[in-house]
Structure 1
Amino acid sequence: MAGEATHRWILALDVENFSTRRDPVQKRVRAAMYRALASAMERAGLAAADTVTEDRGDGVLMLVAPTVSPLLIAGPFVDELRQELREYAEQTNAEHAMRLRLALHQGLAARDERGWSGDAVNTACRLVDARQLRDALTAAPSAHLVFAVSGEVHHAVIRHGHRGIDPAAYLPCTVTTKHGETISCWITVPGRPAPAGLTGTAPGTTPGAATPGPAGAPSGPSGAQGSAPAARPGVAQHAGTVRGDQIAGDKNVTVHTSGSVRL
């Protein structure tokens, strides 16, 4: 039934290389995707009554009630989904491999008899389809999931470092849509210190400007981390030491995303 737009947490999910599979394989991978989602929701405590899903063929659009904490979505739910995908990978072959891109945004969404619409829905879908998110998954061949949050979600949720969420594991980038619109986002490979180098100018920077290091690290020539390298046009720069990973155990890794970082 149609209704007025209401605030939602908006998740867009997409299966890597789905359309290249044979039809019977697509059918089995889709079934596995829905099983993984349902199990991750149950284990994380994300109630089905608080979510609405819309099938997208090679993925899912999921709208979550505003009463649900985003900490549950970005923390336990994402981690449980990662675990489900890891277990699935141990039981299947390469033809039925299932690696996912996941994006989280928030905003107003309206429902009619055919589904959901709104600028916030469009943004989530653009993030999950962004080249940078695809590249991050390609650069981490042993990973099963990459996760992007919009700049708004990062500012309101991720950067504060609540329990189960590691801000240092996210790298910034800017996505340019086919209409020339730019969207700021942050990308992580769940369970890893930080994703491989990302292309696209980092949010809040301009070509030729230095990009800040990890949160809380001094910047500039006198900072303990030293001077950040000058950003090249069209390349996201991030230099410094990523400290820890609250989900996958303590680890340190130095990241310079002007080059290639393998995870």
Structure 2
Amino acid sequence: MADGAVYKTLMNVDTRGSGTYLDGAKKRMRARIYDLAHASFEAAGVSRSMLHLEDRGDGFIAAVDARIPPVRLLGTWLAELHQRQRAGNEDLARPLGLRVGLHVGPVTHDEEGLSGHAMDLVCRLADSEATRTVLDRSGRDLVLVVSDSLHHEVVRHGGRFVEPSAYRPARVGLKEGPVTAWFHVPGEARPPVPGDEGFDTRPVDAPSGENGGGASTGAEAEGRPPGTGSGHAAPAPGHRPSADGRGRQAPETEAWPVGADAGAHWDITVQGGTSVVQDRATFQGPVHFGGGAGAARRSDGEPEGREAGTRIAPSPDRHEGHGDDLTDGRR
């Protein structure tokens, strides 16, 4: 330990997608972070005099006085942060997402600020690709990542608002090499972590926040086209999933595969034009439903005997969902 270094609880708080905020939105985002953090510190009994905090533009790093037990930050402080963040996000088109790293270790203060290997570690953990992906895949707005030593010394013993079973370990690649870290997502009993089956595959329609729809409306609020935010990526045109989940090139005309006992299905004809998203597949449209690959079609693409744009509803005495109840080509 370097001369003058003191053991403290070290913290790094980063914002999800901070680089996509416009300047005005970023200013408001920063104000929300500090309001949340300081209100939570106060609720946990951490006074300003017990806290050294340095701004990082999209968050902050902090060293909390050793008189404050780490379990209070893992418990009361985190619980307060989570609840206040949830309440605040209800009024936001783009929910605020936070990554929080915690570690206990020696840190040195000089006139320029905080330094030391322990400070480097907590920053690396919060900024790691693994932590970013855990937050994205959780569909929530807050993730905590703690060092292996902090988990061993504090988390595994439990405490007020600290549930050891809600933390999951994973190997995380850092600049200095791989380390073991422990992840906790408030509100999740077992958050997905690296090493889980399918963890590295981003779900097509994964939620972007526990309040729902954050990434899409956030993209619109920041001037980007809807659906370009994280969690709303559609498959590239010409390559879409089949019904069994395997990707393949989209043929011009394809009958959606169904089992012998399945209900209605659609024959889909794809022609050049605008895009249509059906279930989790993207088709380049216009898309015509019904009629099958061999059905007669007029020059405008509609089946013979149908007016363009018309839709034939099932008889009122038929049950919805059975293929033989439909007269518009679904069976």
TM-score class, shorter? 0.7 to 0.9
- CA contact 1:46–1:72 (8 Å) conserved in 2: no
Q: Which amino acid aligns with 1:175?
A: V
- CA contact 1:11–1:104 (8 Å) conserved in 2: yes
Deviation per CA, 1:122-171: give whole Å up to 9, x if none. 00000001111111110122x22100110000000111122321111111
Stretches of structure 2 lacking an aligned partner (at least 5 in a row):
211-331
- CA contact 1:46–1:77 (8 Å) conserved in 2: no
Aligned to 1:91, the other structure's residue is in SS state coil
Q: What residue in structure 2 maps to residue 254 of structure 1?
A: none
Match of 1:165 among 162, 165, 190: 162
Aligned to 2:138, the other structure's residue is in SS state coil
Match of 2:109 among 108, 111, 122: 111
Q: Which amino acid aligns with 1:184?
A: T
Partner Cα separation in structure 2 for residue 67 and residue 191 of structure 1: 29
- CA contact 1:148–1:187 (8 Å) conserved in 2: yes
- CA contact 2:54–2:60 (8 Å) conserved in 1: yes
- CA contact 2:169–2:180 (8 Å) conserved in 1: yes
Deviation per CA, 1:103-140: give whole Å up to 9, x if none. 10111111111111000000000000111111111012
Q: What residue in structure 1 maps to residue 91 of structure 2?
A: 91
RMSD: 1.7
Match of 1:195 among 191, 213, 238: 191
How big is the shift at 1:98? Answer: 1.0
Partner Cα separation in structure 2 for residue 48 and residue 175 of structure 1: 33
Partner Cα separation in structure 2 for residue 163 and residue 24 of structure 1: 38
Residue-pair matches, total:
200
How big is the shift at 1:258? Answer: 2.5
Is 1:155 aligned to 2:152, yes or no? Answer: yes
Match of 2:98 among 97, 100, 103: 100
Match of 1:183 among 166, 179, 185: 179
Partner Cα separation in structure 2 for residue 40 and residue 91 of structure 1: 19
Deviation per CA, 1:65-101: give whole Å up to 9, x if none. 111111100000001000111011012222xx31100
How big is the shift at 1:194? Answer: 1.6
Q: What residue in structure 1 maps to residue 314 of structure 2?
A: none
Partner Cα separation in structure 1 for residue 38 and residue 122 of structure 2: 20
Partner Cα separation in structure 2 for residue 163 and residue 38 of structure 1: 20
Partner Cα separation in structure 2 for residue 19 and residue 164 of structure 1: 32
Stretches of structure 1 lacking an aligned partner (at least 5 in a row):
200-235, 237-256
Identity among equivalent pairs (%): 33
Instruction: Please report the TM-score for the alignment, with normalisation by the length of structure 2.
Output: 0.58
Q: What residue in structure 2 maps to residue 174 of structure 1?
A: 171
Is 1:258 aligned to 2:197, yes or no? Answer: yes
Q: Which amino acid aligns with 1:171?
A: R
- CA contact 2:185–2:191 (8 Å) conserved in 1: yes
Q: Which amino acid aligns with 2:175?
A: K
**Which fold has the larger relative contact order, with Cα–Cα distance below 8 Å and residues 6 or more apart in sequence?**
1
Q: Which amino acid aligns with 1:193?
A: A
- CA contact 1:171–1:195 (8 Å) conserved in 2: yes
How big is the shift at 1:182? Answer: 2.0
Highest Rg: 1 or 2?
2
What aligned pairs does 1:30-41 form with structure 2 within 5 A after superposition?
Answer: 30-41=30-41
Aligned to 1:195, the other structure's residue is in SS state coil
Aligned to 1:175, the other structure's residue is in SS state strand
How big is the shift at 1:44? Answer: 2.2
